[in-house]
Chains A and B, each alone.
Chain A
Amino acid sequence: MLYAILCYHDEDIVGSWTREQDAAVMDRLAVVQDKLAREGRLGPVARLLPTTSATTLRKDDPPVVIDGPYAETKEQLLGFYVVDCGNLDEALDVARDLGAANPGGAYEIRPVSVLNPGSVTR
């Protein structure tokens, strides 16, 4: 079974780390990731840019674009895509296509700051 582990933390606090503190946390995480990678068990790892860079597409008819992260709590996170796009408009186009195929709910579009594609194949 593949498991996705979703990272939650207070952005204010993570954002107030100094560059050294941030690097120290990343170094400690890298130790854990390296071990998993050696065992061939590490899939893609992504660090996202802050929620200030987020845009949300509500899959209404027609879809509505809203600045900021997805803030409702009555829906749950069910999955995610990583797509390569030239800019936000292209990413929104992809989200609109996905939304047309599966209406209802919303997509939050967030730029990825660090991506390690990982090595799991199955």
Chain B
Amino acid sequence: MTDAAWIDAALTAARPQAVGALLRYFRDLDIAEEAFQNACLRALNNWPRHGPPRDPAAWLILVGRNVAIDEVRRNRRQRPLPEDEAISDLGDAEEALAERLDGSHYRDDILRLLFICCHPDLPATQQIALALRVVSGLTVKQIARAFLVSEAAMEQRITRAKARVAGADVPFETPGAVERSERLAAVAAMIYLIFNEGYSASGDAAATRAPLCEEAIRLARLLLRLFQGEPEIMGLTALLLLQHARAAARFDAEGALVLLDDQDRSLWNRKMIAEGLALIDKAVRHRRSGPYQLQAAIAALHARATRPEDTDWRQIDLLYGALETMQPSPVVTLNRAVAVSKVRGPQAALEMIEPLAPRLSNYFHFFGVRGAFLMQLGRNDEARVAFDRAIALANSSAEAAHIRMHLDRLMRDSQPCGSKSSKK
């Protein structure tokens, strides 16, 4: 790797830790970010000449803090800024700081930073934007592109989010055990949201938004390294890895959605799958199940099946059943019904989803799945009605195209007995 690429990677990797520590000093997100920005500028100038520091994060924290304090002093006394060289040789200072910032300090700094981004006062869209800007360090332009909005609109969204958290009461003292686990859950949910923003994209947007999935995985890994013994964080990281492992197989050349059963499994990323499976293996040893672990376990059963017909649907049905008990939701039941259709047939599955109709009357997948069950039962006219409704509710052209494929097949199947379709 070139010097520039190395420095770039080191700055990105150190960012959450450094901004988190600077936030602890200055208790202001803008000042912390600016201090980090300034430290990065100095690193770009200093590191190629003096070689990289042993602990890049500690260097950036110390330099960032010094520059910000100098700025305050300069404003006060109109004193000139010290030369770069004066702060370039940190020597012992760096070492002392690195020692003081032990693991638990880092941990709470980063957790606080993440927690501020997913502050309960912020709507989900602002949480995600703020986290990507402040923690991941993506530019406003990159975030705007991923969310398909203008740069100005994204700038405004982030500014609003910052203003709101500045006004909110953010605790700076070290959190207690209960508060820490609450924060951890909120942060996990936010990371999952970021992932879904990338994962639910399709067509042209899929490529632009894939970095969101990668960023979410990076954040999940970061969180897991800080909380090594948390089975739900293992589960979350495993879930994201196992889902993202299928990315290359999820869309065809035209950008249309390819369902799990029809995916070319040789395109699945085996390395990500191996890591995901290893994490679930670790998590289950704790015997403390949770929604992320259950979803990851379901994803793992798909990942383990070499061919679609090797899938252990019975086990998937059981896992969805456990998830339903833990986190009742019509969407979970809908997913379970797909497993039920494979184990007990489409009639049982259809009966299972009928009661969901009132709550999922505007949900694309409900009608897609219902149509598929009806089609399997040979109730083609009803299937067609369900598919028509699904197309009307489709969130993307890829979803619509997928349903249209079913409709075309129904059309072909029903042509010999032509009169049937005219009844409609």
The answer to whether B225 and A13 have CB atoms under 8 Å apart is no
Q: How distant is the Cα of A88 from the Cα of B281 in the complex, in angstroms? A: 6
CB within 8 Å for A89 and B221 given contacts A50-B275, A113-B271: no
Residues of chain A with a CB closer than 8 A to B73's CB: none
Closest A residue to B237 using CB positions? A52
The answer to whether A16 and B274 have CB atoms under 8 Å apart is no
CB within 8 Å for A53 and B5 given contacts A13-B10, A15-B221, A16-B12: no
Q: How distant is the Cα of A55 from the Cα of B224 in the complex, in angstroms? A: 13
The answer to whether B275 and A113 have CB atoms under 8 Å apart is yes
Residues of chain A with a CB closer than 8 A to B14's CB: 12
The answer to whether A68 and B237 have CB atoms under 8 Å apart is no
The answer to whether B13 and A16 have CB atoms under 8 Å apart is yes
The answer to whether B228 and A52 have CB atoms under 8 Å apart is yes
**Count of CB-CB pairs between chains A and B under 8 Å:** 59
The answer to whether A49 and B285 have CB atoms under 8 Å apart is no
Contact of A68 among B5, B229, B281 (CB under 8 A): B229
**B-contact bits for A1-32, CB 8 A (1 contact / 0 none):** 00000000010110111000100010000000
The answer to whether B281 and A87 have CB atoms under 8 Å apart is yes
Q: How distant is the Cα of A61 from the Cα of B154 in the complex, in angstroms? A: 57
The answer to whether B282 and A17 have CB atoms under 8 Å apart is no
The count of residues in chain B whose C-beta lies closer than 8 Å to any C-beta of chain A is 24
Closest B residue to A49 using CB positions? B275
Residues of chain A with a CB closer than 8 A to B279's CB: 52-53
The answer to whether A53 and B10 have CB atoms under 8 Å apart is no
The answer to whether A13 and B274 have CB atoms under 8 Å apart is no
Q: How distant is the Cα of A50 from the Cα of B281 in the complex, in angstroms? A: 14
Residues of chain B with a CB closer than 8 A to A49's CB: 274-275, 278
Closest A residue to B214 using CB positions? A18
The answer to whether B229 and A13 have CB atoms under 8 Å apart is no
Q: Does A51 reach chain B (CB closer than 8 Å)?
A: yes
Residues of chain A with a CB closer than 8 A to B225's CB: 51-52
Q: Does B96 reach chain A (CB closer than 8 Å)?
A: no
Q: Does A99 reach chain B (CB closer than 8 Å)?
A: no
Residues of chain B in range 186-241 having any CB-CB distance to chain A below 8 Å:
218, 221, 224-225, 228-229, 234, 237
Residues of chain B with a CB closer than 8 A to A13's CB: 6, 9-10, 13
CB within 8 Å for A67 and B229 given contacts A16-B218, A88-B282, A88-B285: yes
Contact of B282 among A10, A12, A21, A53 (CB under 8 A): A53
Residues of chain B with a CB closer than 8 A to A12's CB: 13-14
Residues of chain B with a CB closer than 8 A to A17's CB: 9
Q: How distant is the Cα of A68 from the Cα of B274 in the complex, in angstroms? A: 17
Q: Does B1 reach chain A (CB closer than 8 Å)?
A: yes
**B-contact bits for A21-59, CB 8 A (1 contact / 0 none):** 100010000000000000000000000011111010000
Contact of A52 among B5, B221, B271 (CB under 8 A): B221
The answer to whether B275 and A67 have CB atoms under 8 Å apart is no
Residues of chain A with a CB closer than 8 A to B228's CB: 52, 66-68
A49, A53, A65, most chain B CB atoms within 10 A = A53
Q: How distant is the Cα of A10 from the Cα of B52 in the complex, in angstroms? A: 13
Residues of chain A with a CB closer than 8 A to B229's CB: 66-68
Q: How distant is the Cα of A101 from the Cα of B36 in the complex, in angstroms? A: 51
Shortest C-beta distance, A89 to chain B (Å), equals: 7
The answer to whether A16 and B282 have CB atoms under 8 Å apart is no
Shortest C-beta distance, B212 to chain A (Å), equals: 15
The answer to whether A50 and B221 have CB atoms under 8 Å apart is yes
Shortest C-beta distance, A25 to chain B (Å), equals: 7
The answer to whether A10 and B278 have CB atoms under 8 Å apart is no
CB within 8 Å for A21 and B13 given contacts A52-B225, A88-B281: no
Q: How distant is the Cα of A13 from the Cα of B14 in the complex, in angstroms? A: 9
Q: How distant is the Cα of A52 from the Cα of B224 in the complex, in angstroms? A: 6
Shortest C-beta distance, A73 to chain B (Å), equals: 13
B229, B279, B282, B285, most chain A CB atoms within 10 A = B282
A50, A67, A68, most chain B CB atoms within 10 A = A67
Contact of B278 among A16, A25, A89, A111 (CB under 8 A): A111
Residues of chain B with a CB closer than 8 A to A67's CB: 228-229, 234, 282
**A-contact bits for B148-160, CB 8 A (1 contact / 0 none):** 0000000000000
CB within 8 Å for A21 and B1 given contacts A52-B224, A67-B229, A88-B282: yes
**B-contact bits for A57-80, CB 8 A (1 contact / 0 none):** 000000001111000000000000
Residues of chain B with a CB closer than 8 A to A68's CB: 228-229
Q: Top 6 closest A-B pairs, CB basis?
A: A68-B228, A12-B13, A67-B229, A53-B278, A111-B278, A88-B281
Provide a sorted-by-A list of 24 A–B residue pairs whose CB atoms are within 8 angstroms.
A10-B13, A13-B6, A16-B218, A17-B9, A25-B1, A49-B275, A52-B224, A52-B225, A52-B228, A52-B237, A52-B279, A53-B275, A53-B279, A66-B228, A67-B228, A67-B229, A87-B281, A88-B281, A89-B281, A89-B285, A111-B274, A111-B278, A113-B271, A113-B274
- 6 A-B pairs besides A52-B228, A53-B278, A111-B278 with CB distance below 8 A are A50-B221, A53-B282, A65-B285, A89-B281, A111-B275, A113-B275
